[in-house]
Structure 1
């Protein structure tokens, strides 16, 4: 057996290669090979008690044990690298390994031995083991059970601060931030900051079943908070909440919460912070120490494991962080408006008395019906009771009323004819109150529903010829009379045409009698 431990210890004491070879009775070439390999794999003195010659040989030459069995050796670096890819599992890699063995006429390892050998390799050589977690796949999030405090400058009162924790299970890298509330707005904000801290997004978020993330979670149905679902869609990730009363579903963050409570919250128990920003600065320093703290049973730390094992697998961040929006429901009022924080926004009048969903952001108010957007408004701020009404949302008669301005009246009259224009100009010029004149003109405009433009223009021409003071009432009377006269004239013409068309009918005169 080669004296691996003695070779490394003598080298650490500064003994030359010739001296080490003489002391251990090994060739200088073999001694040089062992020392170079140990330096490459960062195996340095002092060595732990468990690092016997057998342990060191298995660490430096893992393939020796496998080759001695006569089976096809395993390429552990390849296996570890392939497991980082989406949808690649040890079962798939073992299947490919078996196919390669059949091609090379070698004896393959069973799946159980395959997994066991890889586990030993990963425990010794890598900071993470990819059997359970894939890099960049999951981010587990939760609130810490313990709370921090800030001090009110005016009263000296201690105010609770709630600590949010996010953990990447593969590398165990964690993020922590304190907030003064656990409401939805704080929940979304800390998620934005967590993704910014990690520098990318994961495929899945695993939260607890708090109201800010989950509305309803049963074995048959899962309903997410609409805002939280929208945030996940913005980051192109999927929310998979832990089962109710099943903390093992997010065991990594549960463990990190416990450690963070000790290493950060408890460590800051004697630190006086007078604002949430000061507290988060202190947490940031403790968090850096926490993530750079060496593993107890593995080489490296959380940050180094993240940099080498997981960072590459994260999806890129969107161009802009998610902007918080809040969802509400409302019933469309009879005036085709919805009330939002004492402000009123219009929707198409066809949705009167319908239940709609409303999405509120800092700048926009969007109204949805059956997941389809039917209205969008710029959000109103300031004095209560303001209205945002779009003309397209109004019924036709409301549009006519809203459109009543002197300019619009003249434009309409000009589209009818010159006589109508003279009448409208006269009414506008002679009215004592503009609103009264516009109401009269509006009444005349509504006549367009029953009468053609030609009929309105003819009535205005007749009014002008009869009086120098035309009124809307006189025009409406003429329209009615003209309509009646036209109908009588048409009926008479039809009768005459009927008699002419049927002249071959023999009357009494034909037979020598008298027509009655």
Structure 2
């Protein structure tokens, strides 16, 4: 329907594409949103007197009040305002390479220590995700056709096995196989990253996933590349 209100994520996507000077026709082709709806929101953006960049910097509550002034949008409670002030710091922590083991669960537990009456985990993640998307307007989410591609690679850090008798620590590289359309994945720690352990693990991954994709993307894994004759010319060994 042409007059159906859009979600906040859709509104922010409209802002992003208008900032890139995308036409109404092209936007309609990409998203299927009715042209009349797009024109209505464009009129509201311009009537606000703010630039697209300024609108994109607004919080979800302020932006909703701007484009839907007639709707009874509830004022944010103290928890919302408190978390809004913390989101920038949380985003920096997640982006920092020094915090490679940091997760949203750890951030949420840290948040609850400072705000015992704060949001539950799901709501905390919801606002954090909105902040990350709002401040990364150049992010492009590619379309993945179902069943077309399986992405495989080793995880950044190995798991460790400790032998009971000698207490020796043995590193176990972890292979991860992901279907990007659904984010369905298979992960398995291996005795080593050599082919004699990698190939059987890939077979088990296909059995677990229940099918064989058209393509397998391995990100130039050393186990699958035997040599490079020239730039962009490689010999595969799988």
TM-score bin (small chain): 0.3 to 0.5
Structure index of larger Rg: 1
Higher RCO, 1 vs 2 (CA within 8 Å, ≥6 residues apart):
2
What TM-score, normalized to structure 1? 0.21
What TM-score, normalized to structure 2? 0.43
